[in-house]
Chains A and B, each alone.
Chain A
């Protein structure tokens, strides 16, 4: 069964450093997303991406965040200058169109630890 993959599984960085989280969505999917989950809290939407542009973003997704689809397979989330409060599990997801369900396929996540 096709699946979303994410790398790295765990990233430790120092406050103020830039990090890039990588995702490979399911190959024929058209919509891509990033969510995050701070330990013990809800899954929160960050951004959605379609047709090479952001289609929706939350208040969390400020100027420190950016997304990119640099080639036909990867989808990346960049945090320019990490803060302690960016420590969380970051999930990439992708979805198809016209399947009749509103199913998003989530990756296993990248645990980001900012020290």
Chain B
């Protein structure tokens, strides 16, 4: 599994766009990039997944450059309820494979 590096914590204010970057220099050809969100005392929740270029859903966007050695999760116009830990996971996650979580990025959104 590719090792991932992401900031330990970030602060933002309501209404701002937040970009969380994850570094994964050793990403393999078959690896996908997946982001999960975890609120305090809750289970992680899938946000978005991508392989290359840009992926967007109703929650976030995921930007992946051509070399795929990093990725950026973009949260548009955050609110207080987006305060959570965000995890970047990289792996060839076939169905049934375990997820390997790192330390994640603790995002604090302030009013």
Contacts and interface: CB of A to CB of B under 8 A. Distances in A.
Nearest to A97: B95
Interface size of B as a range: 20 to 34
B100 interface: yes
A103 B43 CA distance: 13
Interface residues of A, number: 31
Interface of B: 32, 34, 38, 41-46, 49, 87, 93-104
B43 A91 contact: yes
Interface string A43-68: 11100101000011010000000000
Given A48-B98, A97-B95, A102-B93, A43 B44 contact: yes
Closest 7 CB pairs of A and B: A106-B43, A102-B93, A45-B98, A103-B46, A43-B101, A97-B95, A31-B96
Main secondary structure of the interface of A (DSSP, over half): strand
Contacts of B45: 106
